[in-house]
Amino acid sequence: MKFVKMHGCGNDYVLVNCFEVGMDHDWHRLAREISDRHFGVGSDGLILVMPPSSPGVQFRMRMFNSDGSEGEMCGNGMRCFAKYVYERGLTDRMEFAVETPAGIIRPRVILRDGLVELVRVDMGVPSFERAEVPMIGAPGEAVGETLAAGGAQYTVTCVSMGNPHCVVFVDDLGSIEIPRVGPLIERHEVFPEGTNVEFVQVLDRGSVRMGVWERGSGRTLACGTGACASAAASHRMGFTGRRTRVVADGGILEVELDDSGRAFLTGPAEEICSGVFTKWREPE
């Protein structure tokens, strides 16, 4: 199976071009095997570059976590996707439409010396409505609530970016045991579909520090949809303005909320390597 490995702020993905390899494969199993950091290529997940299934869009993207589960969307992965299709000549458009389970996403590539240095992605409008996250409870927004997990109380704001996020505000990010607390919130009973978890320390009116526990992948160095959720939640709580610098373990992401509430994510995407995953064999 031919692949290209890329990353956005350390959030790494293996990309497979379905225009070349076809679409009739066990992608859930491939995601688990190719993502394994000891017996595979190693990544936070698998991204498929696919022909569109709807009119008016140029591509379709599917994303699988390292545990084989399929995610709705991935902001860092979308930037890698955009760099891949532009630099390999699958499109000559600077901005194009990509079909995802979370809806139509529109990335725009930003070039330097003819190569993609940054990608700005229209990530849509964040929703705080409990039913849209989804999160069990009374109708209304899940903003500034108290959530009990592992014998402690946390202040959380829950956001849908097309996938679920629980933003946990903390005074000191360094004091949080993310590998311990993250899974407790990811699988908390109030989240029927599980949730991504962002631990956020507000630095000032224009920046936050973010630690990530991703649903289906665990501890990661960054999360694009998580950065948008963190910025939106921080703004909704009155901690930050419309422009937020999100400092993740793997790098810095810029999030802008426009007057209509839409979130725009800007950040880098880099290619690491390409090759053939020779271990892959289709089942008999």
Q: Are strands 103-112 and 196-204 parallel, antiparallel or unpaired?
A: unpaired
Structure tokens that stand for 126 in this block: 């964040």
Structure-block tokens of residue 125: 């409008």
Among the options 9, 158, 166, 223, which is catalytic? Answer: 223
Known catalytic residue at 74:
yes
Dihedral over Cα of 103, 109, 110, 115: its sign: positive
DSSP per residue, 220-284: ES--HHHHHHHHHHHHHTTSS-SEEEEEETTEEEEEEE-TT--EEEEEE-EEEEEEE-TT-----
Among residues 74, 158, 166, 228, the one annotated as catalytic is: 74
Q: Residues near 175 by Cβ (< 8 Å), separated by ≥ 6? A: none
Reported as type and span, the H/E element at residue 30 is helix 27-35
DSSP for 75-126?
Answer: HHHHHHHHHHHHHTTS---SB--EEETTEEEEEEEEEETTEEEEEEEE----
Known catalytic residue: 9?
no
| CA-closest candidate to residue 19, choices 66, 60, 76, 75 | 60
Q: What share of the chain is helix, strand, coil (3-state, %, to 5)?
A: 20, 40, 40
Neighbours of 101 (CB within 10 A): 14
| CA-based nearest residue to 58, from 104, 23, 113 | 104
- What residues are labeled active site? 74, 223
